[in-house]
Amino acid sequence: MSLPLALGPLAASRTYKLTTTSLMRMNEAQEHNTYHTVARQTLLERKPNNTYRIAIEVLSFKAENPTFFNALAADLNQVSNHLIIQTDVYGRLAHIENKADMLKTWLSIQADVVEKYQQYYPKTFFDAFGQNIQAEGVFEKTLRYKGLHGVLLAGLYGYGYTPEAPVQGTRVLEQFINNIDLPLQTTTQVADSAKPGQLSLVLTGKLNQAALQEDDLRRLFRTMADNPLLKVSFTATCQERYDLEAATGWLVAAEQRLQAEVPGVYRNEVHHQLELVD
């Protein structure tokens, strides 16, 4: 058994570019877009219990096909563009430490945001958003295993990786479809590295059927399709690859693909590609 992989200290932060391509289809409606995010990651502290304090700062974000909802998300995401995150021993997002800073940012932009979207959303929508910033664990659900934070905080640390011993695990993408979670069973194993001094890991995942909220999922899709007899056969898979510096545990590149589908009714595809900029 090799030593557990750990994230080592660096003299400087790392800057990454994330390219995200998404396809969402529901019945006849379909949306396809590509997003470009540049972010800086800084290791603030590795604690004695092998958990981490990490700062993630979004430096820029751009959608290739801007939409109303992109604009709304960009305005609301101002509160989470600079986060101080406490991880667990695996490097997964446990909780956000700087909620007070998030709330301060929200209070400074709230009036302008409410006025900008008052024709489309009631004030109560934005009041709830502010309350969710302060509520324990609510905001974390929107970031854990998703988007930029799901790539940078994928939960790769704390395991001793060897070619002959794949690592079995589980993950849950909370509130993946409305309030319904997406549970996955995962297998992570060592892959051939493209460059010397790198550790490459590949992860495959499939639907954890036993943990799926099947009754709630069935009701949701039957309501969406306006068909009380709709046969709901839900599938989900993911494929991921991570290239890390073997000596420090820092990411050099990463790729994630996620597909979830109810044939003929719903399809959700997300592809993330991360590259080191500086």
**What does the pLDDT read at residue 225?**
84
Quote the DSSP letter at residue 178: T
What amino acid is encoded at 142 in this protein?
T
3-class secondary-structure state, position 128: helix
Quote the DSSP letter at residue 248: T
Q: Which residues lie below 8 Å from residue 223, measured CB to CB, with a gap of 6+?
A: none
Determine what percent of the chain is predicted with pLDDT higher than 70. Answer: 99
> Within 10 A of 202 (CB to CB), how many other CB atoms are there?
16
* Across 226-244, average pLDDT: 94
Residue 226 has pLDDT above 90, yes or no: no
**What does the pLDDT read at residue 23?**
97
CA distance 143 to 132: 13
The arrangement of secondary structure in 14-276, i.e. its CATH architecture, is Roll (2.30)
Residue 109 has pLDDT above 70, yes or no: yes
Q: Which residues lie below 8 Å from residue 49, measured CB to CB, with a gap of 6+?
A: 89
Q: Where are the domains of the chain?
A: 14-276
If we measure between CA atoms, which residue out of 105, 48, 97 comes closest to residue 81?
A: 105
**What does the pLDDT read at residue 12?**
85
Our CA angle for 270, 273, 274, nearest 5°, is 135
Angle between helices 99-116 and 123-134 (to 10 degrees): 170
**What does the pLDDT read at residue 278?**
84
Mean pLDDT, all residues of the chain: 94
If we measure between CA atoms, which residue out of 85, 98, 83, 80 comes closest to residue 53?
A: 85
If we measure between CA atoms, which residue out of 66, 65, 68, 40 comes closest to residue 54?
A: 40
**What does the pLDDT read at residue 21?**
98
Residue 111 has pLDDT above 60, yes or no: yes
Residue scoring higher pLDDT (12 or 210): 210
Question: In terms of pTM, does the model score above 0.85?
Answer: yes
Cα torsion angle, 90, 94, 99, 105, sign: positive
pLDDT in tens, 163-188: 899 999 999 999 999 999 999 999 99
Residue scoring higher pLDDT (10 or 36): 36
Residue 57 and residue 51 in contact, taking contact as beta carbons nearer than 8 Å: no
Residue 33 and residue 22 in contact, taking contact as beta carbons nearer than 8 Å: yes
Our CA angle for 224, 226, 231, nearest 5°, is 80
Q: Are strands 180-191 and 198-207 parallel, antiparallel or unpaired?
A: antiparallel
Residue 27 has pLDDT above 90, yes or no: no
pLDDT in tens, 143-164: 999 999 999 999 999 999 998 9
* Across 94-121, average pLDDT: 96
